[in-house]
Structure 1
Amino acid sequence: MKVLYFAWLRERLNRASDEVTPPDSVRTLDDLVCWLRSNDEALDLAMANPRQFKLSKNARIVPWDTPIDGAETVAILPPMTGG
């Protein structure tokens, strides 16, 4: 599965995406984010307040408890500011 990073999160990580194969114990997007953070210190620091982020599965914004079954892409979208 491809994990996409957007906006300031992408800049902070210095990459736009990762290809990952989560273990079978990762069943929801919440599980996936926890697993990703536990394996990447930069992502963990950038997502210190994870619930402020929106998650997308296959280009649709979905709740954190959405199963990852069938996910080809997951996007992590940081909060945006406008002006």
Structure 2
Amino acid sequence: MKIRIRYFASLREVTGQSDELLDIADGTSIAEIKKDLVTRYPRLQDILERCLCALNRAYVPPETALHENDELVFIPPMGGGSEPQDNGAS
């Protein structure tokens, strides 16, 4: 069966692509896909450990089984913002 993986941010930088079609066995879990990706792209190890998983636009746990034509997205942690600064007003 075929699924599509979409890559954003640091995942896109590491893989060199924005999406990819994979041919996988029926019932393969997201956790198994993550292991396969780390084998193919070792630099993804640290990133994938911190990513959330979205399947067909809904957050799911890594144990979720995949099905034909699913769209899988790994959502990397977001940075940004800053600590509130003490402006000296009391």
Distance in 2, Cα, partners of 1:34 & 1:70: 19
**So what's the TM-score if we normalise by structure 2?**
0.72
User: What pairs with 1:4-83 in structure 2 (closer than 5 Å)?
Assistant: 4-24=6-26, 27-38=28-39, 40=40, 43-48=41-46, 50-70=48-68, 72-83=70-81
Instruction: Give the unaligned 5+ runs of structure 2.
Output: 82-90
The normalised TM-score by structure 1 is: 0.77
Q: Equivalents in 2 of 1:70, 1:20: separation in Å?
A: 10
Query: What's the C-alpha RMSD, in Å, of the aligned pairs?
Result: 1.9
Letter in 2 for 1:65: E
Measure, in 2, the Cα distance between the counterparts of 1:34 and 1:11.
18
> Residues of 2 paired with 1:66 and 1:79: CA distance?
20
Amino acid at match of 2:17: R
Which contiguous aligned blocks of 4+ residues in structure 1 show a shift greater than 3 angstroms?
A: none
Q: Contact conserved, 2:11 with 2:47, CA < 8 A, in 1?
A: no
- Share of identical aligned residues, percent? 22
Task: Say if 1:6 and 1:12 are closer, same or farther in 2 by CA, change over 3 A.
Answer: same
Q: How much has 1:15 moved relative to structure 2?
A: 1.0
Larger Rg: 2
Give the distance between the partners of 1:13 and 1:34, measured in 2 at CA.
15
